[in-house]
C-alpha cells in the first residue's frame, strides 16, 4: 500500500525540485548540530607476530556480561597460541574487579594468555586502538565485551585462515537475547585479490591478517566507527574468505547505542564518518572505483535511516553534502544496481524530496 502511494507521488512529480541549500549552509547546519570530529583512520601500528591470534576486547561498564564473554574465550580448546587483550576503558562499575579476578586465575591453559590494559575512557575506538597500536599476532579478532565465542571458534577460524592464507576471514554468526536466537549463515567462498568479496560492516566475527591492520585505526570521536571496515579495509587489494561455520554469538541489546542513536544529535556522525572514509581512501591505496561508488549509494540510505528523527534541514544538509561527495569523487560513475537508480538520480540532481520518497519505494 505504501509503495503504491509513493509510486503515484513520484509519477506526478514531473519536475522534481532541486535543493537550493548551498554547500556552505549544509556544513554550517551540521557543525551546529554536532561538530565534525577531528579523527583519522590512518596510523602506523607496531606489529610483532609472537602469537597466532590476538583477541581484542574493549570493555566499558559491562560487569553484567564480561565474565560470560571471557569464559567463552577461556573455554576454547586450541593448539594456537592466543593473546587476549582486554582494554578496560575507564569503567566505573565492577568491570575492573571482575577482570582482575579472571586474570589472576590464569585461565585457558598454556596456549592462552590474558592481558588487561586499564586506561582512562577514550570510547570504543580509543579502546580498540590501544591494542591495535601494538599488534602481537599473525591474526587479529575483535570481540565485543557482551558477546561470546561458540565452542572451537579459534580452531575453526585459524585452521581455515592458514590454509587459505586469508587476509580477512569472515564466519557465520547467531544473534540472541533472553528469548530468541537467530542464525546468519554465510556461503563457503574464497574471493581472490581483485574480486572484492562481501565483508559485513561489523568488526566482529572476522579474522584480520595483521598486515591488513598495519596502518588502520578506528576513528576516535565518531559514532558509527565501524564504517571503515567495509569502506576501507574490504576495499583494499586483499583476498577475503567466508565460511559457513558459526563463530560468533552477538547479543541483542535494546539499550545499546545503536537503538538510541537516532534520537541523538550526534547521529549526524554517520555523514562525518562517511566523508572521512572517502577522503582517506588514497592513504590506504584504495581507488575511487565502482565498488566504492556502489557502497556510497547504499551508505546514503543507511545515513538517512540513522538521522530520520532529525529535522528536515539536517536531513537535507546530509543529502546535499552526500550529493557533493558523489560529484567530487564519482562524477563519471553509474550504478549497476537497478534498485538504486532512483536514489542515484535524486543524488546526482540534488533532488532532496525525490530522494526521501524514492527510499520508501525500495
Residues constituting the chain: 362
The residue ranking higher by pLDDT, 353 or 255, is 353
Cβ atoms within 10 A of the Cβ of 169, count? 27
From CA 275, how far away is CA 322, in angstroms rounded? 8
Residue 140 has pLDDT above 80, yes or no: yes
What SS3 class is residue 60? coil
- Rounded to whole angstroms, the Cα distance separating 362 from 304 reads 13
The pLDDT value recorded for residue 110 is 61
With a cut of 70, say whether residue 40 has pLDDT above it: yes
Q: Which residue has the higher pLDDT, 326 or 256?
A: 326
CA dist 303 and 294 (Å) reads 14
| 15 confidence band (pLDDT: 50, 70, 90) | low
Residue 38 grid coordinates: 577531528
Domains and CATH numbers, the chain: 2-33+259-361 (no CATH), 46-253 (3.90.550.10)
Residue 332 contacts by C-beta under 8 Å, 6 or more apart in sequence? none
User: In the predicted model, is pLDDT for residue 5 greater than 60?
Assistant: no
Q: How far is CA 261 from the centre of its chain?
A: 15
| Rounded Cα distance, 214 and 242, in Å | 22
Report residue 194's pLDDT band, with 50, 70 and 90 as the boundaries: low
Contact between 278 and 325 under an 8 Å Cβ cutoff? The reply is yes
35: Cβ–Cβ under 8 A, 6 or more apart, which residues?
Answer: none
Residue found under cell 577522503: 279
pLDDT over 80 (residue 3): no
Predicted confidence at residue 105, as pLDDT, reads 57
Cell of 209: 591478517
Separation in Å, CA 83 to CA 55, 160, 210, 222, 250: 6, 19, 13, 28, 21
> Which tens digit of pLDDT belongs to each residue from 285-302?
999 999 999 999 999 999
| Cβ-defined contacts of 29-36 (< 8 Å, 24+) | 29/313, 29/314, 29/317, 30/268, 30/271, 30/272, 30/314, 30/317, 30/318, 30/321, 33/265, 33/268, 33/310, 33/314, 34/265, 34/266, 34/267, 34/268, 34/269, 34/272, 36/272, 36/275
Residue 318 CA to its chain's centroid (Å): 20
With beta carbons less than 8 A apart as the criterion, state whether 252 and 177 touch.
yes
Q: How many CB atoms lie within 10 A of CB 77?
A: 12
DSSP code, position 16: P
pLDDT digits (tens, 9 = 90+) for 216-275: 999 999 999 999 999 999 999 999 999 999 999 999 987 666 666 778 999 999 999 999
DSSP 3-state of 270: helix
The C-alpha cell 561527495 sits at 325
Task: Answer whether residue 109 shows pLDDT above 70.
Answer: no
- Specify the pLDDT at position 102: 80
Give the cell for residue 232.
Answer: 576501507
Cell digits of residue 1? 500500500
Question: Which residues lie below 8 Å from residue 342, measured CB to CB, with a gap of 6+?
Answer: 10, 354, 358, 361
Query: What does the pLDDT average to over 34-46?
Result: 98
The closest alpha carbon to 230, from 210, 250, 202, 208, belongs to 202
Amino acid at each position: 500500500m505504501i509503495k503504491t502511494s509513493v509510486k503515484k507521488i513520484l509519477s506526478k512529480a514531473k519536475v522534481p525540485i532541486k535543493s537550493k541549500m548551498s554547500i556552505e549552509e549544509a556544513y554550517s547546519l551540521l557543525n551546529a548540530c554536532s561538530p565534525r570530529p577531528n579523527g583519522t583512520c590512518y596510523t602506523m601500528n607496531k606489529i610483532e607476530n609472537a602469537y597466532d591470534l590476538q583477541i581484542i576486547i574493549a570493555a566499558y561498564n559491562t560487569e553484567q556480561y564480561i565474565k560470560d564473554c571471557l569464559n567463552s574465550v577461556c573455554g576454547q580448546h586450541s593448539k594456537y597460541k592466543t593473546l587476549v587483550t582486554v582494554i578496560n576503558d575507564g569503567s566505573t562499575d565492577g568491570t575492573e574487579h571482575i577482570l582482575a579476578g579472571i586474570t589472576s586465575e590464569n585461565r585457558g591453559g598454556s596456549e592462552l594468555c590474558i592481558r588487561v590494559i586499564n586506561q582512562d575512557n577514550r570510547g570504543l575506538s580509543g579502546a580498540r586502538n590501544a591494542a591495535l597500536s601494538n599488534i602481537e599476532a599473525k591474526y587479529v579478532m575483535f570481540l565485543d565485551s557482551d558477546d561470546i565465542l561458540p565452542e572451537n571458534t579459534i580452531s575453526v577460524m585459524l585452521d581455515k585462515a592458514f590454509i587459505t592464507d586469508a587476509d580477512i576471514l569472515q564466519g557465520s554468526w547467531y544473534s540472541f537475547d533472553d528469548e530468541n536466537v537467530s542464525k546468519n549463515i554465510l556461503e563457503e567462498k574464497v574471493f581472490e585479490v581483485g574480486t572484492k568479496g562481501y565483508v559485513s560492516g561489523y568488526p566482529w566475527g572476522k579474522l584480520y591478517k595483521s598486515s591488513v591492520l598495519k596502518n588502520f585505526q578506528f576513528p576516535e570521536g565518531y559514532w558509527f566507527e565501524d564504517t571503515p571496515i567495509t569502506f576501507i579495509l574490504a576495499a583494499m587489494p586483499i583476498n577475503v574468505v567466508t565460511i559457513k561455520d558459526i563463530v560468533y554469538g552477538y547479543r541483542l541489546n535494546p539499550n545499546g547505542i545503536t537503538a538510541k542513536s537516532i534520537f541523538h544529535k550526534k547521529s549526524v556522525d554517520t555523514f562525518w564518518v562517511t566523508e572521512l572514509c572517502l577522503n582517506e581512501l588514497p592513504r590506504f591505496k584504495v581507488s575511487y572505483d565502482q565498488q566504492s561508488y556502489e557502497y556510497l549509494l547504499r551508505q546514503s540510505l543507511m545515513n538517512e535511516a540513522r538521522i530520520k528523527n532529525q529535522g528536515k534541514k539536517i536531513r537535507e544538509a546530509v543529502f546535499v553534502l552526500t550529493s557533493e561527495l558523489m560529484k567530487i569523487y564519482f562524477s563519471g560513475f553509474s550504478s549497476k544496481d537497478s534498485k538504486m537508480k532512483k536514489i542515484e538520480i535524486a543524488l546526482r540532481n540534488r533532488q532532496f524530496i525525490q530522494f526521501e520518497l524514492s527510499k520508501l519505494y525500495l
